[in-house]
Structure 1
């Protein structure tokens, strides 16, 4: 195992996570996740069933109702979402705009995602260089480096996380490339409140739990004051010393801890084909 950046990120070599994956390999990945927050295992050859079975070893797999409703699932695997810009027979085969803003997966839910695994099947290139990198930031390292004055301002506060807000923000920015929510989907995705500072359920480290993508406002503050404070926190989280940039290769299985990180996808590949399979596990209610 080798570290990939000072704040987070590690590469594990010499293991296969497909058929016959051992308990020792699963333990190694979990321990690395809790130490490095983002882990890549390269050169994997996974079937959808194998990716799903591996993630079931990490925790309860998230039931992807949004993916099912929009037919973004891998055929036969309703809880595995296709992340892709590919259009076949006039239809997007997957979610095209995933990750366009800094976020952690599922913070708009009462039980946000714990771990996400993204498996690279097609990676776009231009002039021999891979495109579509993903940036990660350590929200634990960011919290540890907060000035005392800023810690005092956010202590004990909660924030509203909203999927409706997320999609509306994407629309305003011109990044929305998915169907609008139906009334039924809106009813299934009510806004939720989570602490601005949460404690990791395994490591016990404190981290910042507000995201550019899904956090609408901080409870109890005037909207302009909330917006200013959130911008200050997001700018702090994105500081270079807290980040790792992942350059994809076909066969990468990238796994990250949503309770210790945020991430951002780079859309620099235009119509060049990109295709990945995503599975997520659910975590406890943030506290």
Structure 2
């Protein structure tokens, strides 16, 4: 994690004052995200609405919040805290690992050791719940055990990534819509964030089965061909990767008891490569993840439907139309487990 005592990035003073009024402190991380201390997430049910609203807006604008906890939270405390944001209730679609506390269906237990959690999840840039019309509004991570030798998560701010695109690419990407390979749900490749108002890019690099382009000069559509879709995925990967050096993405390393909440419409994420390395090399890693119900459908433009039959015949014409849990393979040899 990049930290700097002279960090020029500042939290909006009015927002910080509200957090301080309720006993907490906040500082901006460099280059994205903010760290919160002094807020007791075990008492999430009693946090004042004014404080929750400020924290949610901070998350929308800076991508994610890290809550530093002096002691471990109980699983139920973490889940209650997850319900502070977005749709205010859990929406869980994952499998349940045998080591999940109490077999709780709302905890997605991840690890680099299959005896302790589900391994190898999320190696490519993505947003959670892309198979749903109303994608998860937020996701939470409760760090049960960080690996001794590193293995965190990469976060990239999708609004700042859109701003970093060349102008011609910004124009074209706003005419593109992705089709989820597992469900056939259609989402815009560029959307306007409902809280921050920023234009944000959006593409799941492990679960995209097709991309529909609205033609610029007439009311018609086409599918991207394999070489075009591979190029789009590489360009999307490259613009998010560039944020690691250009100031809109970071490789975040966790500490024990951290709770991280991300705005799933504002930041893309992927597991750091080290997160999937063997226990013998990295040490044991265990994380609990939660997912929060979306607020409204992430609907495509141009009167496109929210859902198409990706398992059926291609209705548009020549181009990639790929069904299955793992989407179009845009580069040979890359891991694409979701």
CA deviation after TM superposition for structure 1 residue 35, in Å: 2.2
User: Are 1:270 and 2:278 an aligned pair?
Assistant: yes
What TM-score do the two structures reach when normalised by structure 2?
0.69
Higher strand share: 1
**In structure 1, C-alpha distance between the alignment counterparts of 2:171 and 2:273, rounded to whole Å:** 36
* Runs of 4+ displaced beyond 6 Å: none
Alignment of structure 1 residues 93-242 onto 2, 5 Å:
93-126=116-149, 131-163=150-182, 190-219=183-212, 220-239=223-242, 240=244, 241=246, 242=248
Task: Give the aligned CA root-mean-square deviation in angstroms.
Answer: 2.0
Structure ID, larger Rg: 2
Structure 2 unpaired stretches of 5+: 1-25, 213-222, 300-338
Tell me the secondary structure at the aligned position of residue 43 of structure 2.
Answer: coil
Match of 1:246 among 226, 242, 252: 252
Tell me the secondary structure at the aligned position of residue 194 of structure 2.
Answer: coil
| Residue 80 of structure 1: aligned partner | 107
**In structure 2, C-alpha distance between the alignment counterparts of 1:62 and 1:19, rounded to whole Å:** 18
**In structure 2, C-alpha distance between the alignment counterparts of 1:29 and 1:56, rounded to whole Å:** 13
**In structure 2, C-alpha distance between the alignment counterparts of 1:157 and 1:106, rounded to whole Å:** 19
Cα displacement string for residues 167-198 of structure 1 (whole angstroms, at most 9, x for unaligned residues) = xxxxxxxxxxxxxxxxxxxxxxx221111111
**In structure 1, C-alpha distance between the alignment counterparts of 2:266 and 2:99, rounded to whole Å:** 27
**In structure 1, C-alpha distance between the alignment counterparts of 2:193 and 2:141, rounded to whole Å:** 22
Tell me the secondary structure at the aligned position of residue 105 of structure 2.
Answer: strand
Which structure exhibits the higher relative contact order, with contacts defined as CA atoms closer than 8 Å and separated by 6 or more residues?
Answer: 1
Structure 1 unpaired stretches of 5+: 164-189
Structure 2 contact 59–65 (Cα < 8 Å) conserved: yes
**In structure 2, C-alpha distance between the alignment counterparts of 1:112 and 1:270, rounded to whole Å:** 32
Q: Aligned residue pairs: how many?
A: 251
Cα displacement string for residues 118-155 of structure 1 (whole angstroms, at most 9, x for unaligned residues) = 011111114xxxx1121111111011122111122222
Flag the 1:153–1:28 CA change in 2: closer, same or farther, 3 A.
Answer: closer
